[in-house]
Amino acid sequence: MFTPSAHLYDTIYLSRGKNYAGEAESVHQHIQARLHSGGNSLLDVACGTGLHTSYLREHYQVEGLDLDARMLEAAQQKCPELPFHVGDMIDFELNKQFDVITCLFSSIGYTKTPEKMRQAIANFEHHLKPGGLMVIEPWFGPEDWHVGNIHATFIDEPTLKIARMNLTGQEGNLSYFIFNYLVGSPSGIEYFTERHELGLFTVDEYRSAFEACGLEVFHDPQWLNARGLYVASKPGG
């Protein structure tokens, strides 16, 4: 959860060069090539502060969902006309179906275990129209995760200084890292940490989860940052 650092999230990831507009456009192209549900409603699961959402709304009737209410506050400010929902991807219930469901920036990894990942996929399928698409950017697999890597981001603006560092670790098939933040502003200097844990799922585990729901799966293993992309279609439409 990014609750303690929600107010810093956009500044950090935009400074790292994350291309939200380009990623959203690539997702849009995948959707247009495979969508057969006849509509253009889209639910952006784990939408965070709404950076992908703000670009996807150019093509779709978008709603957002996230577990973190503080992140959704930022998303609502960006997209005041859109509905946003607080909910867990594993068991949310919106009592409606969508043409497209996206779950980007590897957020599916926060389900932590293969069982909960399968529950999330099944819940997405429950909210998907016949002929609709599920677009999921996975987290790293077990073979791609490396323990002991250190990462750092530094922000040096006139009224905001940020140093964020983390070291990668692993416990079984669970990856983890603890973000250490040092943040300076005219109101003072603060230090805090966040622990993040994400499941390391294999390609076979993802495919099994999709196929258990009767979905047809396209996998692009080299999508953008080489974490890959799954596009799963629901029969019908």
Per-residue pLDDT, 204: 98
Mean per-residue pLDDT of the chain? 97
Q: pLDDT grade, residue 225 (50/70/90)? A: confident
How far is Cα 211 from Cα 235, in angstroms, rounded to an integer?
A: 12
pTM over cut 0.95 = yes
Q: What is the largest CA-CA distance in the chain?
A: 57
- State the helix-helix crossing angle for 203-212 and 114-126, rounded to 10 degrees: 40
Per-residue pLDDT, 226: 79
CB atoms under 10 Å from CB of 237, counted, come to 15
pLDDT in tens, 150-185: 999 999 999 999 999 999 999 999 999 999 999 999
Domains annotated on the chain, with CATH: 3-141+202-233 (3.40.50.150), 150-199 (2.20.130.10)
Residue 15 has pLDDT above 90, yes or no: yes
Per-residue pLDDT, 2: 76
pLDDT in tens, 83-110: 999 999 999 999 999 999 999 999 999 9
Q: pLDDT grade, residue 237 (50/70/90)? A: confident
How far is Cα 77 from Cα 96, in angstroms, rounded to an integer?
A: 24
Dihedral sign, Cα of residue 11, residue 13, residue 17, residue 22:
negative
Per-residue pLDDT, 25: 98
Per-residue pLDDT, 4: 86
pLDDT in tens, 38-85: 999 999 999 999 999 999 999 999 999 999 999 999 999 999 999 999
